[in-house]
Structure 1
Amino acid sequence: MNSKPTIHDIAKALGIDSSTVSRALNDSPRVSQKTKKKIIAKAQELGYQRNLLASNLRKNVSRTIGVVVPRISRYFFSSAIQGIEEAAYLAGYNVIICQSLEELEREQKIVEGLIANRVDGLLISISMETLNYNHLQAVINSDIPLVFFDRYCNLQGCSNVLIDDFNCGFNATEHLIQQGCKNIVHFSGPQYLKIYENRLEGYKAALKKYEVTFQHIISSKLMEVDGYNSMISALEAHPNIDGVFSANDVAAVGAMTYLKAQQIKIPDDVAIVGFSNEPISRVIEPALTTIDQSGLKIGEKATALLLNYIANKEASNETQTVMVDSNLVIRSSSKKMI
């Protein structure tokens, strides 16, 4: 089997120095355009391929960014990844995508691996278990720009790309109140995560504005089974519940599954609003009212911010919080006949 051609083979074929070939292939201004064209033509003829890894290592760059999300299967994260990959591709970067599965230990090992693989930057939406930020501080200590998205993280020198979770929580709850609901339960995620704290605070603010005294909160990991069990618990404690604001669509679907099994009418008996605008929210019966998080835009903006920090390391010390618009998508699960 023939070995791969090298710059020395190109130089020998053209009768010139290998250093000239190297400069030409790296588009150096020290080589004339005429000579560059001749060298590139010969390189193509011989089937020469540049060793990008070696080239990048010499430049101390990898042209790669790491992305860590809790679950790729969640529509919000898959759409955010779509935005990330497109923005990275247009800028000439590759993307390494990893999922923590909401586990701190797994997230720590992933981050360690990305540092070891010398990524140029890191985008992360932290897991539900992430209370210790030592592994993320290690990213900063390695001089790797770091941007958080979706789930806020208060780490000095790092920026966040988010939606207004408080306002979304308020709008979702206000909508239920305007549909005539007076006993609204909120299915929340862990309160040490700022997104769930803010959605809860939005829920409370809407109740206060409309002088609704009933308040009931159930926290979980917001899996479908959690929504199912939370609905059971809520109705056992308060049989008069007539509205549910779930901090994600997955738990909302679980709640709807239980209600339908019990022949409790949606939305006539219990109106439901979810969060994330998962694809299932459009096709489930009745269709689920939800908050559209604009995952694609969040991915694009987070990547643009990270690439700016990679290009200008000093700028990465300037903490920013970038807010992306979101909106309430009203469907049949919450539209009562009032």
Structure 2
Amino acid sequence: MNPIHYLEQKQGELFKTYHNLHELAEPSWQEKQTSAYIRKRLTDAGISVRTFDQHYGLIAEIPGETEEVVALRADMDALLQEVDGVVRPNHSCGHDAHSTMVMHTALAIALSGIIPKRTLRFIFQPAEEKGQGALQMMKDGALRNVQYLFGLHVRPSFEVPIGKASPIIIHSSAGTVKGTIKGVQAHAARPEDGINAIEAAALLVYKLKQIKLPKEETGSIKMTQLQSGNNATNIIPETAVFSLDVRAQTNNAMDKLKQLATTAIDEVVLETGATISWSMDEYVPAAIENKAAKNLAASAITSILGSANLIPSCISPGGEDFHFYTLENPGIKATMIGLGCGLSPGLHHPQMTFNQDALIYGAQILTAAVLLASEQERM
């Protein structure tokens, strides 16, 4: 049976899978039940699945005529956030939907009996929300022999309307700087004897606000957390702990922001006498456009939804660790598809919802994309 038609006939199974994964919701690096559920569904269909001792990621494969690989990636983890007054794992970023569509793409192709020209690999990745899962999967050989790589992410309605899709999501680079300012305590009546960590933090805020990128670059850096002080109000505080949110539309702009932030911090140290230790955590790179993968994804979208429902590109200020795959492996043809699905109020909102009919045409687009890529002549 044609796998595209198979997905249409099995839409009830896709909805059931989505609901099951939605209820399982597990945070980064703790995706034990989610992984086990996906693994069982795939192995029951005769698909070989590789597991790992140190994490819950999976790599499934459908052998092709050659060892060259077309890969499809899904993320599995949920956010840990407050929902109705209770902090719990919650799928408000759509990873349950992504895993559903990728899993059923694998099932549809396997059960169709098609032998693809290239081997098809399905990467179920942990810890996307930590910005660490893609790096781990690469260490475990997920990209061995990969020629093409596709991902997909559900999009808010204001980015991609329902029933439409984009062949590329142009994510920004994003990172969090964690830092500690160390000054010198003193009696508040003799401030000249100390180094006030709060005043050093205030000077840092001022200097960060002066940072400007060239007109052709877009980005921002701002202090989003600051904690300092003692129980006593008459002591000059010695320590302040801060966080900076850093975002840039391109990887070059992110590099410039990091250089400018380093200069600002060094200036604060010089002017105040405080010491500042800091590092960038939870960093993800910006998207890198690949025309070959983008054009294939566009053809897949058009084949399922028609040319009128193709959105040329989706620009998002958010970040995605999918782009580590391309940053670290520039020879791979890769793109992330943006799926319109009526998503509201927005990604990471605790009450996020979307039209589940998008699971069907999303899986069909992914199926068309990997099969098209499998047939492409070697470049």
TM over 0.5: no
Instruction: Provide TM-score, normalisation by structure 1.
Output: 0.30
Question: Which is strand-richer, 1 or 2?
Answer: 2
Higher alpha-carbon Rg = 1
Higher relative CO (Cα under 8 Å, sequence separation at least 6) belongs to 2
